[in-house]
Amino acid sequence: MALILNDFLIRKRDDSLPVGSSGFFVRIPSVFLFIFSDGAKVIGELKQGKEEQEITLILEKGSCEDLLHICAGDWADNFTEGRTDLKLTESLQNGKRTLIYDKSDVVTSPAQSCRISSKT
């Protein structure tokens, strides 16, 4: 099942980037990906306006918030800094693919903060 991030903000960062990062990232509360370790690859879809693309992100763990760095090879010129929707489906760490959530989709947005709601 997926973690659905509605209306999250893509930002640009130039300092201390993980290897393979495009420099663009999304900040999310740590509660959503707590079972995954720093450096895990997260696979999903990015949708911005009418543009949609499958992407890989690199997880950077924080104490309250995690950063999901969009991989350099997946950043397209038709995307910009600003609001986006993401649907994260699985993680790749230690050579093993794992679903983000086992039982149901989880939907959140910045307006909901850390509230988790299940999509039926």
pLDDT of residue 113: 58
Q: What are phi and psi of 11, to 5 degrees?
A: -125, 165
Rg (C-alpha) for the chain, rounded Å, is 13
88-105: string of b/e by CB count within 10 Å (b at 16+)? bbebebeeeeeebbeeeb
How large a percentage of the chain has pLDDT more than 70? 92
pLDDT of residue 39: 94
Q: CATH number of the domain at 14, please.
A: 2.40.30
pLDDT of residue 48: 92
pLDDT of residue 117: 56
Name the pLDDT band for 94 (thresholds 50, 70, 90): confident
Give how many domains the chain has, as a whole number.
1
Nearest to 100 by CA among 119, 81, 79: 119
Query: Does residue 111 belong to any structural domain of this protein?
Result: no
pLDDT at 72 over 70: yes
Query: Does residue 10 belong to any structural domain of this protein?
Result: yes
Query: Does residue 113 belong to any structural domain of this protein?
Result: no
Model pTM above 0.75? yes
Query: Does residue 118 belong to any structural domain of this protein?
Result: no
Distances (CA, A) of 36 to 51, 58, 75, 80: 28, 11, 23, 27
**Which residue segment(s) compose the domain that 13 sits in?**
3-106
Mean pLDDT value across residues 58-65? 93
pLDDT of residue 78: 79
Query: Does residue 112 belong to any structural domain of this protein?
Result: no
pLDDT at 120 over 60: no
Mean pLDDT value across residues 12-41? 92
* Cα–Cα dist 119/87, whole Å: 12
